[in-house]
Amino acid sequence: MAVALLVAAGRGERLGATGPKAFVVLAGRPLLEWSLDALRAVDAVRRIVVALPEGYYAPPGCVGVRGGVERSHSVRAALAASLEGDGDGEAGTGDPDEPVIVHDAARPLVTPAQIERALAALEESGADAVVAAAPVTDTIKRARPSGEVETTLDRRALWAIQTPQVFRRSALSAALAQPDELLARATDDAWLIEQAGGRVHVVESPRENLKVTTPVDLRLAALLLEDRC
């Protein structure tokens, strides 16, 4: 079995809506409901914890927890809440091998199959973490602050990292035990594992599993969801 942590506590400043991004209406429903559907449809998921902004309540059947200042702080709060009520005899640390799925509510197009593929890849690879990722399709160059191009990177080795990201509980919990300042610099949790010398693998995922960041992403997500119905 596995637990899922859905992080939904961000403010959504770049989207610029009147309320938090996870509760903005997308194709007729609050944005977070789309990825909740996908998580609920995965048989291996025994519990879903949602990190929420202040004043918002957990959706039915989920455990709710108040999010933190930065994304990784919200993941840490959700991981702690995932242990509550487990009746774990060993000081509430949980099964160290249990897979923990971390997903951004901001990625509403995730499918149950993508989550299942990440879980299977964790088993097969023996890695500490597996991250959904899309092959990069743009040419990527590194440039100096002046704008002068320094180099062109080899696209064949580049991946655009998404969620879901799946971790061994022990690896995620050790990564999140690092100082708050380091957590604040992490744009994903797998980076914290890499910093600590852990092994992270990518599992291919389509670009359609986009992150709603700006208003144009919200429009694209609405179109793609309409195509599914």
List binders of Mg ion among 3-62 (CB under 5 A).
Answer: 10
Asked whether position 9 contacts ligand CTP by CB under 6 A, the answer is yes
Question: Is residue 11 involved in binding ligand CTP (CB under 6 A)?
Answer: yes
Cβ at position 51, least distance to ligand CTP in Å: 5
> Binding residues for ligand CTP, how many (CB under 6 A)?
22
Q: Under a CB-based contact definition with an 8 Å cutoff, are residues 88 and 13 in contact? A: no
**Minimum CB distance to ligand CTP smaller for 70 or for 95:** 70
Residue 183 within binding range of ligand CTP, rule CB under 6 A? no
Nearest residue (CB) to ligand CTP, 71 versus 201: 71
Q: What is the DSSP string of 39-70?
A: HHT-TTEEEEEEEE-TT--PPTTSEEEE--SS
* Closer Cβ to ligand CTP, 152 or 214, answer by number: 214
Does 13 bind ligand CTP (CB under 6 A)? Our answer is: yes
Asked if residue 175 lies in contact with residue 102, where contact means CB atoms within 8 angstroms, the answer is: no
Told to check if 131 binds ligand CTP by CB under 6 A, we report: no
Distances (CA, A) of 174 to 3, 132, 144, 177, 215: 17, 21, 35, 5, 36
164 binds ligand CTP, rule: CB under 6 A: no
Nearest-angstrom CA–CA distance, 146 and 220: 33
- Rule CB under 6 A: which of 35-54 touch ligand CTP? 51
Strand partners, 151: 142
Tokens of 35: 């990825």
CB atoms under 10 Å from CB of 90, counted, come to 8
Nearest CB to ligand CTP, comparing residues 104 and 128 = 104
Instruction: List contacts with ligand CTP (CB under 6 A).
Output: 7-14, 21-22, 51, 67-71, 74, 104-106, 211, 213
